[in-house]
Structure 1
Amino acid sequence: MKTGNGLFHLSVAIVAWSGMTATAWGKDFCNVPRSQWQAQSALVKKLEGQGWKIRNLKIDGGCYEVYGTDGNGKARETHFNPATFQAVAERHQG
């Protein structure tokens, strides 16, 4: 198999992976019992400490989904694991 061909298949896989829905992410990364979730207010405090301005926070696919701008002023839509606050999916808004 040629390296170029493998790179093509890798590119296709990345494109397919990047089109995953938040629900698919939630199944893989946010499958956490509610008893282990941290409070939404703790995530807001953490992000605001990093310079984020939060527009909206909701639960989607078992993740906390945050809409806002980061410390650099870039619009973000980011899904966080509710137990660890690890970012598991993100879409740059602009």
Structure 2
Amino acid sequence: MKRSILLKLVLTASAFSASTIAVAAPVCTTLPQARWMTPDQMKARIARMGYRDIKVFAVSGSCYEIYAHTRDGKRAEVYFNPVTGAVVQNNVD
């Protein structure tokens, strides 16, 4: 009996962990990476948008993701559509 309760707890915890991970990065595009802007093109676009001091530039799922600062110095975690360059999610501190 203890074994089945433990198994249920582990499975429940795993389900919550997986759902948290899935929600963490938004879906930015369904197009293949061959259709994406190159990292250099995207970085230039991001700079024109006013983001500065990019600490991280990475592919996160179907997005380009950055950790940087806004024009007014606030920290930002931003997800971009890699095809259009549009901001999909913007988390500013």
- Could you tell me the TM-score, scaled by structure 1's length? 0.66
5+ long unaligned stretches in structure 2: 1-22
Query: Where in structure 2 are the equivalents of 1:30-69 lying within 5 Å?
Result: 30-53=29-52, 54-69=54-69
Report if the CA contact (8 A) 2:51-2:68 is conserved.
yes
Per the alignment, residue 82 of structure 1 pairs with 82
Report the alpha carbon displacement of residue 70 of structure 1 after superposing the two structures with TM. Answer: 1.4
- Seen in structure 2, the aligned counterparts of structure 1 residues 50 and 87 have a Cα distance that, compared at 3 Å, is closer
Report if the CA contact (8 A) 2:45-2:85 is conserved.
no
Which string of whole-angstrom CA distances, capped at 9 and with x for unpartnered residues, describes residues 7-28 of structure 1?
xxxxxxxxxxxxx320xx22xx
Distance in 2 (alpha carbons) for counterparts of 1:50 and 1:35: 24
Per the alignment, residue 14 of structure 1 pairs with none
Distance in 2 (alpha carbons) for counterparts of 1:51 and 1:91: 15
Report if the CA contact (8 A) 1:32-1:82 is conserved.
no
Distance in 2 (alpha carbons) for counterparts of 1:72 and 1:43: 21
Q: Supply the AA of the counterpart residue of 2:65.
A: E
Per the alignment, residue 21 of structure 1 pairs with 24
Secondary structure in structure 2 of the residue aligned to 1:48: helix
RMSD of aligned C-alpha atoms?
1.3
5+ long unaligned stretches in structure 1: 1-19
Report the alpha carbon displacement of residue 41 of structure 1 after superposing the two structures with TM. Answer: 1.1
Paired residues in the alignment total: 70
